[in-house]
Amino acid sequence: MLNPQSPVPLYHQLADIILARIRSGEYSPGSRIPSENSLAAGYGIGRPTARQATELLVQKRILVRKRGSGTFVRTKQKKEIDLFSLAGTTASFRKEGISVTTSILRKTRLETVRDDPENPFSGQKAYFLSRLSRVEDEPVLLEDIYLHPVLFPGIDRFDLQGRSLSRIVYEHYYMRPVSGKQNFRISYLAGEKALALNITPDTPILSVQRFIHFPQAKNAIYSELYCRTDRFDFSQTIGGLTDD
């Protein structure tokens, strides 16, 4: 049942209950869930609250509304995207047959990186760019990328709109990464980043710190990735790194 004393909003509680029933199989893929009027009566809440709960799951692409029929459990399963392909995350989308478009939010430029103990370029010069990836015109991935200023001279001259950064590094700088690591956490965004990803400040997203090492230097490329997980499952293969 719902707990009115909980700091978690009632519509969030109801959405969690519906989601649990979907995962348990009580509401199977393609099945119709109870109407908002039925949910409101069954849980002693107003219809607007029930509407908020179902709308939250619609936004997460777990439910789908069908005009004149009701609200149903979505049958199409989320695809899994390899988050640690050295060929780049956008290459991982394409490998799954998913059409992805990228746009540059901040063009590449050499700048002094603000103090940040987690950023290997903290307080130093680095090339920086920010880009956004969309699938079916819906933003799914925001990347802030920092590049070694000595290893990648002139990288700011390249137009990275819709182009693979790893391919440019290989074809123009004759370098391939040899290893790397990633740190994962759940984050919440506000301001320009939340607006770019079309999310609200209370929407949890997957935040990833990516460190890429080259023979010439460790941490030659450092990225901060912000991933919406309501449409795709982001994964990492254990046992080696891929480059295709």
* Lookup: tokens for 96: 């799954």
> Within a domain: residue 240?
no
Using an 8 Å Cβ cutoff, are 73 and 33 in contact?
yes
| pLDDT, tens digit, 9 for 90 and up, residues 231-244 | 677 666 554 444 33
* Lookup: tokens for 115: 């103090």
Beta-carbon contacts of residue 152 (< 8 Å; ≥ 6 apart): 127, 169, 173, 220
As a whole number, mean pLDDT of residues 82-108 equals 72
Element containing residue 226 per DSSP (H, E)? strand 217-227
Per the structure, the count of domains in the chain is: 2
Do residue 51 and residue 164 come from a single domain?
Answer: no
pTM value is: 0.64
Do residue 134 and residue 166 come from a single domain?
Answer: yes
| pLDDT, tens digit, 9 for 90 and up, residues 173-194 | 999 888 888 899 999 999 999 9
DSSP-assigned letter for residue 240 = -
Helix ranges restricted to H, the chain: 10-24, 36-43, 47-59, 89-95, 165-173, 191-197
Do residue 64 and residue 98 come from a single domain?
Answer: no
Do residue 149 and residue 169 come from a single domain?
Answer: yes
| Four-residue CA torsion sign, 80, 240, 181, 107 | negative
**Considering the chain, what is the average pLDDT of its residues?**
86
> Within a domain: residue 241?
no
Q: Which domain holds residue 41?
A: 10-73
**Domain holding 213: CATH number?**
3.40.1410.10
